[in-house]
Amino acid sequence: MKNILILGSGAREHALAKKFHQAKCKPFVVPGNDGIKREFDTFTIESQDITDSFLDIYEIIQENNIDLVFAGSEQYLAGGIVDFLSDLDVPVVGPTKAAARIETSKVFAKNLMTKYGIPTAKYQTFTSTKEAIDYLDQVEFPIVIKADGLAAGKGVIIAKDRQEAVVAISDMISGARFGLAGKEIVIEEFLVGKEVSVFAFCDGEHFVSTIFAEDHKQAFDEDLGPNTGGMGAYAPVGSFAPLKQKVDTQIFAPILQAMKTEGYPFTGVLFAGLMINKGSLKVIEFNCRMGDPETQVLLPLLKNNITDICSAIINKHIDCVHLQWKPKYAVNVVLVSKGYPDSYEKGYPIEIDPALFNDEDLIIYFAGIKEDPETNMLYNNGGRVMSITCLKDTLPEAINYAYKKIRLIKSGNLRYRGDIGRRQILDA
């Protein structure tokens, strides 16, 4: 049995822990959350600063005979955990700090895509508010304004007119909105089409890509309201299966080649967010790790043993892995604190019908949640609090089941979108 250390605190890390457990491994999660802690060992780290926590993580690795580290969250990758652990000969799945820039700097990612002819929205970059505002004279609205650095999925503003664009530019470059992450910005053309997500397991040179999933980023039904970290997802996105070859040849193969050529090969899981319009593809963003909530639908559908995939990444033969998928549909609905992604109140009790934990077609994942150790009662403690994933033979069945069962989770302060996956059915 292998001991696996997973880094991160969300539902994605819970899904990873369950997947490693299924592969007969013992998962440990740093820092995890109180929901994950009900099932697996978690470790709290005192330091608030990610890089300061690396030595504590190394201590945990030694004390628990960890065989493999899997970095779930971009925060650790951005801080250089892979460089740190590799120097200490600890096997770790994830990109180096230099390779993680594909997510941690949008300017870096856009420039690399342009240099190597990878299709993406037209753009300009700015560090001067005046120059950025002057540039607005040349663009058509809506226009997309992005903070260069990490902003928890919220650093993108779609400005419908000049006035909104001016406010967004000023707030970002002044640092008022996203701090240092917004000091440099990208202004790019607004793309229309259908958005899908796909992951590639990469060993620095080769890759194998997953089926497509669709995230639902906006807070409210019909894609209204502000962008969030993700309100739910489903997979597979059946209608796009014929595009898989194109995604591999136009996106993943050239970006991996580019990163190798530039001297920072990508190892780990590369996430591509794509806009598809009449069969043509454009990259909206790359992430240097698995997407959340997409992981919560893709991992339950994946038949392969996850340790085989990790070994192939580390031993550089991922091209020999053939990914296999259950012939099912998965739907994930996220319960968030009312008010999220803006301010929200914490500390409301959550009651979950115990039957939900014994249902083979349903998985519960925990994220921003706290448990009272005396009463074992759970309370909301973050924006995205918990989620359910349902697996059924058809998409409508999976959706109906998820929405029937989610009613068995009761709390005065949680809400969820009511239309996850439904657009796909209307499109079909």
**Shortest distance (Å) from residue 291 CB to ligand GLY:** 3
Instruction: Give the integer Cα–Cα distance in Å for 16 and 13.
Output: 5
Is the CB of 5 or the CB of 290 nearer to ligand AMP? 290
From candidates 121, 132, 213, 276, binder to ligand AMP by CB under 6 A: 121
If binding is defined by CB under 6 A, does position 292 make contact with ligand GLY? Answer: yes
Ramachandran class of 348: left when φ > 0, alpha when ψ lies in -120 to 50, beta otherwise: beta
Sorted by sequence, the CB contacts under 8 Å of residue 366 that are 6+ apart come out as 11, 14, 33, 34, 35, 36, 38, 385, 386
**Shortest distance (Å) from residue 272 CB to ligand GLY:** 10
Instruction: Give the integer Cα–Cα distance in Å for 229 and 92.
Output: 25
Cα dihedral 283, 284, 290, 296 sign: negative
Contact window for ligand GLY (CB under 6 A) among 137-145, 255-263, 291-299, 398-406:
291-299
Judged by beta carbon distances under 5 to 8 A according to partner kind, the member of ligand GLY, ligand AMP, none in contact with residue 148 is none
- Residue 293 DSSP SS3: coil
Instruction: Give the integer Cα–Cα distance in Å for 77 and 115.
Output: 24
**Shortest distance (Å) from residue 294 CB to ligand GLY:** 5
Judged by beta carbon distances under 5 to 8 A according to partner kind, the member of ligand GLY, ligand AMP, none in contact with residue 191 is ligand AMP
Ranges of H-type helices in 201-346: 244-247, 253-261, 294-301, 306-314
Instruction: Give the integer Cα–Cα distance in Å for 94 and 84.
Output: 12
Contact window for ligand AMP (CB under 6 A) among 130-138, 187-195, 259-267, 304-312:
187-195
Instruction: Give the integer Cα–Cα distance in Å for 376 and 354.
Output: 13
Pairing assessment for the beta strands 3-8 and 68-71 based on DSSP bridges: parallel
Contacts (CB under 6 A) with ligand AMP, residues 268-287? 273, 284-285
If binding is defined by CB under 6 A, does position 195 make contact with ligand AMP? Answer: yes
From candidates 214, 215, 371, 419, binder to ligand GLY by CB under 6 A: 215
From candidates 153, 193, 225, 254, binder to ligand GLY by CB under 6 A: 153
Is the CB of 195 or the CB of 248 nearer to ligand AMP? 195
**Shortest distance (Å) from residue 218 CB to ligand GLY:** 12
If binding is defined by CB under 6 A, does position 103 make contact with ligand AMP? Answer: no
Instruction: Give the integer Cα–Cα distance in Å for 259 and 118.
Output: 12
Pairing assessment for the beta strands 409-411 and 349-352 based on DSSP bridges: antiparallel
Instruction: Give the integer Cα–Cα distance in Å for 179 and 157.
Output: 15
Sorted by sequence, the CB contacts under 8 Å of residue 236 that are 6+ apart come out as 211, 212, 213, 301, 325, 329
Contact window for ligand GLY (CB under 6 A) among 143-151, 288-296, 314-322, 351-359:
288-296
Is the CB of 58 or the CB of 190 nearer to ligand AMP? 190
Per-residue tokens: 244? 């898989």
Is the CB of 143 or the CB of 406 nearer to ligand AMP? 143
**Total residues at interface with ligand AMP (CB under 6 A):** 14
If binding is defined by CB under 6 A, does position 214 make contact with ligand GLY? Answer: no
If binding is defined by CB under 6 A, does position 188 make contact with ligand AMP? Answer: yes
Contact window for ligand GLY (CB under 6 A) among 22-30, 287-295, 350-358, 418-426:
287-295
Cα dihedral 233, 239, 240, 241 sign: positive
Is the CB of 148 or the CB of 292 nearer to ligand GLY? 292
Please, are residues 378 and 370 in contact by the beta-carbon 8 Å criterion? yes
Residue 350, number of CB atoms within 10 A of its CB: 23
Task: Summarize as ranges the residues that interact with ligand GLY (CB under 6 A).
Answer: 153, 215, 230, 287, 291-292, 294
Task: Summarize as ranges the residues that interact with ligand AMP (CB under 6 A).
Answer: 121, 144, 146, 153, 156, 188, 190-191, 195, 217, 227, 273, 284-285
